[in-house]
Structures are given as structure tokens and as C-alpha cells.
Amino acid sequence: METTLRGVGVSHGVAIGEVRHMGTAVLEPPAKQIPAEDAEREQGRARQAVEAVAADLIARGNLAGGEAQHVLEAQAMMAQDPELMADVERRIAVGSSAERGVYDAFASYRALLASAGEYLAGRVADLDDVRNRIVARLLGVPMPGVPDSDEPYVLIARDLAPADTALLDPALVLGFVTEEGGPTSHSAILARALGVPAVVALPGAGELAEGTVIAVDGSTGEIFVEPSAEKRAEMESAAAARKAALSASTGPGATSDGHKIPLLANVGGPGDVPAAVEAGAEGVGLFRTEFLFLDDSERAPSEEKQVAAYRAVLEAFPEGRVVVRVLDAGADKPLDFLTPADEPNPSLGVRGLRSLLDHPDVLRTQLTALAKAAEGLPVHLEVMAPMVADRADAKAFADACREAGLGAKFGAMVEIPSAALRARSILREVEFLSLGTNDLAQYTFAADRQVGAVSRLQDPWQPALLDLVALSAQAAAAEGKSCGVCGEAASDPLLACVLAGLGVTSLSMGAASIPYVRATLAKYTLAQCERAASAARATDSAEEARMAAQAVLSGE
């Protein structure tokens, strides 16, 4: 009998197939004492296992490329954390086996993060995966991972670690469903990059029996268990129609009456550029530069290394717009040379622009490298600062850009409610705004963007969030300046129409979402988008806002 479940849709598309469950996690190793004379040998085993797992993660990243590579390299750094390794060796020295020492050291670090309420708690799934891989290697058992199957299936898991998500074979994994995670988790971001339909934050997903046929709608978050023939035909027909619409839609982003909304790509480095170009991106709306800095947490990359990486991206978009976000360190991206190690809540501490203003040499080098990378190129370079709170922040960044001789436009990200509320003041110092809706939602609702339990508050359809977007767009219009969205909200085709109606001037998203957004925007006039935006803002919940906008656009 057909039943319907609802999670959070995070990657467009429809998948219909049999359920297969992720391999079980590594069992807890026995807590047995080892003789003192074996301690040195066990410490050596632990070090070898750590290095082997780190090397495997890096190799997987090299194979996957793009966004996945940066995520997996960050996991490899997690595995090799010197403080964690020192804790492992201390535990072995007082009688733990290598596997037990690893298990307990990681458990202690995990508990510390959770109890402190840190933003880094959002990376617990990544930490658990690293631990499981090291312990599995020490125990000589198979690594946890995707099931071995010759037939296509829908993957079910408690959560998916980046190492698993990065190498999913879309020919076999039709889609995936997780019990935990949120719309901005690593799994969600990588699913969108792969173009695999995905639903997260679905309570009880693990109770779906192996072999059960389910239909997954990655747009709505609906899961149909044992769907009827009629439901399957309906979903397959809708998917076919959507595919045809995508193929027919080409060219710049615009509404049906010709109002231009440039569609840009979010990229994490040169590896993401080919997919963006293939999707028809009109430029880059968010170039995350952290990938260069995460390679070595103890020192910043040289100016020469930065110039080469930036130029590789800039050259791919001649005459296009490339918006670069300067280093956004802190919170879940700590750097030893830049961010404080003892903050009780790093997400509310010294992160983003605050870190850079405390280390002006790092900011100066990056801005100089960007200026040199753009020399002689026809690209329209724009540079923006993360975590701008007020006009003073905006002025400090603008002054730094001028001092570095940067000829590009400079702007501010709106990720803090104060920046949206005082957007017009900030625009007296900078030339454009870019809304980071993931962090803006997190700070507006006091809801950690990585915690599935509060995912409803991370929904970009929340009317309060739409109000802040509208305030920012209105301020930009009043100043004759631009206001884009580079958060994951832009990847929702229906919401993209609402954002256009709110006055947003450009949309930036993962490359895989661009065709969906382009095709949907082209169906409606700007006036329809404006009416849909007004209807959404007049509601009191994300679900009501979505339904209200849909009703307007469908003519109901």
C-alpha cells in the first residue's frame, strides 16, 4: 500500500528504485589492556592507519575533483590532526590498543565539540567517518560504505560522509535518502554537484526495508513507499517533461518578458569550472577561495600560488562576471595561522572578514594576487568580503581593496541580519551586495545549518528570511547598485522566481541547478514573479510561502 513520507529535498530530480542500505558502521573495539612493551608497536600501527586513511581520502578527492576534492582534503587534514594523534598515543601508552585508542580519542573530541555547542559540531558526520575508516583498517574489516550492487538502487543512510558521496556512481545510485543532515550539509552540496536526486532529514528512513521500492522527489522532499503504477507514471511523466524543458532552455537567464536575471555558478576552485561552463553559467557569482588555504592550516599560500589558481578561473569566463569571496576562515574552517583556538562559539566569534582585519597581511596578499591574476584579461572581476556586520566593516574592506590597488568592484556579503537591516548604510561604502542565504538563515533563526533537527528553520522559504532579502534588494535598488543571491536558495527554481520578484539582480548556484532555474524563470513574467513574492511574504511559514507562490505562478 502506498504511503508518503516527507523530508527535505536538496537535489532536484526523481528517482524510483529499490532500497539499499549503507554498510553498517564499525563496531566499538573491545576495551582490553595491552602489555606496556606493546605500546610502541601499537602506536606505530595507529600512525600507519591514520596515514593510510588520509592518503585514501586524498586519492578519492583527486578522482572526484571539484567541490568534493576540497571536502575530502579537509577530511584528510582532520585524520592527521596532531592533537588528536597525540591523544591517541597517550591512550595507547597507558594500555589501550591502537583501535581502542583511536576510538576513544575521537569520541572525546566529538563530545567536546557537541558539549561546547560549537559550529564545528556540524562536521561530526565527517569526524565519525574518519574514525570508522581508521578503526576498520586497524581491525582488518571492510570499510563502511555504499553497498555492492550490479543493479541501480536508492541509497538509504543515517548520514552520508563526503568520502562516500563524492564517488557515488550515478549509473547505479539513482538517488539517496538520509535520516540526518540539512540542506547545506556536505552531502547535500555534493549531491547537487553530482546531479543525484536527494532527500535529507527524513526521520525513520533507516526503517525502510531492504528491497522496498520507493520513489524520491528531490525537489519536494517527498518519498512514496511502494508507489502505485499511477504514481510512478505520474512522476516519470513529470521528470520527462522537466528534462525536455531543460533541453529547450538555453541562453542567458531571463523572465518570459525579457527581464534579465544573470545565472552564475558557485565554484570552489578551477576543478569546478568545466561543469559551470557546460551548464551555460554567465559567470561566477561565488568563487570560494578557501580551497587554497585549507591545504596547509599553518601558513597562507604564496602570492604566486594564489595568482595561478585565480587566473585559471578568470580565464574561463572572458567578458563574464566573476565574483570572488576573499578567505572565509573560522567556524567550520579553522586555520592555525589565522583563527583563535579557544573560542567558545567560533560561528559567533572571529571569522570571515573579522579574521582578515586582524591579519591585514593575509588580506593584502590575497587582494594583490587577485589584481595580478586579472591583469590583461577582459573579465569583470568583483571581490567581496564575508561576514560584514555594519558600515565600519564595509569601509575597512573597501579601504583595503583600494590600498592593494585592486581595480575591481568590491562588495559585501549579507549573511548577518544587521547587514540586511542596514544594507543602505553598507552600500555607501561598497558597490554591490551578495546574499549568503545559508548563513543568513542560520543567524536569523539561531539554527545551526548542519543540524537536521532544526532544518525547518534553515528552509530558505521562511518568510522572515524573504523579508531580509527584500530589504537588501530594495536598498540596492535605491542606491542604483546590484544585489545578488549566492546561497543555496538560488538553486530552487520556484524560489528563484520569488527572489527575482523581490528585486534580486542575479542568482548564483551549483552548476547542476542552472538549467532548472533557467527553464523555470523563462516561464513567467517579472510581474508574476513579483506577485508570487508578495504572496509568499504574506504567509507565516515556509510551507505556506511555497504553496502561496506556487498558487500564484500556476494561476490558481
Residue positions annotated with a catalytic role: 186, 486
- The single residue listed with the C-alpha cell 508574476 is 528
Q: What is the DSSP string of 365-405?
A: HHHHHHHHHHTT---EEEEEESS--SHHHHHHHHHHHHHTT
DSSP H or E stretch at residue 487: none
Cell numbers standing for residue 123: 562536521
- As beta bridge partners, residue 19 has 154
Could you give the C-alpha distances from 41 to 10, 33, 36, 93, 404, in angstroms and in order? 46, 14, 10, 10, 53
Count Cβ atoms within 10 A of the Cβ of residue 459 and give its class: 0-12 exposed, 13-18 middle, 19 or more buried.
buried
- As beta bridge partners, residue 420 has none
> Which of 204, 211, 167, 148 shows the shortest CA–CA distance to 56?
167
Strand-pair category, 153-157 with 14-21:
parallel
Residues found in the chain: 556
CA angle 433, 437, 443 (to 5 degrees): 105
Question: Can you tell me the distance from the alpha carbon of 139 to that of 164, in angstroms, rounded to the nearest whole number?
Answer: 20
CA angle 258, 261, 263 (to 5 degrees): 130
Backbone phi, psi, residue 455, to 5°: -65, -30
Is 192 in contact with 10 (CB distance < 8 Å)? yes
DSSP H or E stretch at residue 108: helix 98-116
Backbone phi, psi, residue 117, to 5°: 70, 30
Count Cβ atoms within 10 A of the Cβ of residue 51 and give its class: 0-12 exposed, 13-18 middle, 19 or more buried.
middle
